[in-house]
Amino acid sequence: MNEFPISKILRRLRKAVKAWKTPVVTQIGWKGDPFLVLISCLISLRTRDEVTGAASLRLFQLANTPEAMQKLKPEQIEQAIYPAAFFRNKTQAILAICQDIVEVHEGKVPDALEALLKLKGVGRKTANLTLTLGFGKPGICVDIHVHRITNRWGYISTKTPDESELVLRKILPKRYWIEINDLLVTFGQNRCKPQSPYCSECEVKNYCQKMGVMRSR
């Protein structure tokens, strides 16, 4: 069996994504502030990119540090991040996270995966994205795009994003860990869509097994 050409695929995707819009949380990561990455990633869960961007901007205009965020009333946060999905639950999580960062971590976002996972409302996707975008540390952020596309390629065969992360940690060369989420989120939003992907135009179609693809364009 030939080795899966992951290096060739990612090299092609680096060129392809230049034509598409960069995901909002990645853009926020360019500011170099782990706290902004953490909060914007939390807002982004089950929320469209354009909503996440506007909601994050409104919230960070009110407060952009854990200490300042703690001083906001829940209603202020809710109004700022609406219409993000589950905005009330996310508001409570944001306040709890800020309290924990201030009281337990001396006002600084922790830079270790296990410590991040102990924060209320923070799952593996958010924790890994905070590590990679906020701190530039190795981590594999597996959202639904990364899970779907790597399985569609036939690179892995898993049932859940968390399972995909564990498998990718074993087989994906570490030099690709940080970038794979950015590449596949952008690729998944524009080309390799969940339903009826644009296979005829795909930059990596020659390497894809189209696992689970019932209809394509």
Instruction: State the distance between the two ends of the chain, measured CA to CA, in whole angstroms.
Output: 29
In the chain, count H helices and then E strands. Answer: 12, 0
Task: Give Rg (Cα) of the chain.
Answer: 18
What whole-number distance in Å separates Cα of residue 217 and Cα of residue 215? 7
CATH classification at residue 120: 1.10.340.30
What whole-number distance in Å separates Cα of residue 104 and Cα of residue 182? 31
* Amino acid code (one letter) for 152: R
pTM: 0.92
Domain presence at residue 216: no
pLDDT tens digits for 115-126?
A: 999 999 899 999
Q: What residues have CB less than 8 Å from 59, skipping those under 6 apart?
A: 39, 43, 77, 80, 81
- Which tokens in the block code for residue 161? 């994003």
Q: What is the average per-residue pLDDT within 36-57? A: 97
Domain presence at residue 215: no
Q: What is the average per-residue pLDDT within 2-31? A: 95
What residue numbers bound the domain in which 107 lies?
31-135
* Amino acid code (one letter) for 209: Q
Tally of structural domains, the chain: 2
Give the CA distances from residue 99 to residues 2, 66, 91, in Å, rounded to whole numbers and listed in that order: 51, 7, 12
Q: What residues have CB less than 8 Å from 186, skipping those under 6 apart?
A: 17, 20, 21, 22, 23
CATH classification at residue 170: 1.10.1670.10
Domain presence at residue 92: yes
pLDDT tens digits for 140-190?
A: 999 999 999 999 999 999 999 999 999 999 999 999 999 999 999 999 999
Question: How many CB atoms within 10 Å of residue 139?
Answer: 23
Domain presence at residue 203: yes
Q: What residues have CB less than 8 Å from 77, skipping those under 6 apart?
A: 59, 62, 69, 91, 94, 95
Res. 89: pLDDT tops 90: yes
Q: Say whether both 112 and 58 belong to one domain.
A: yes
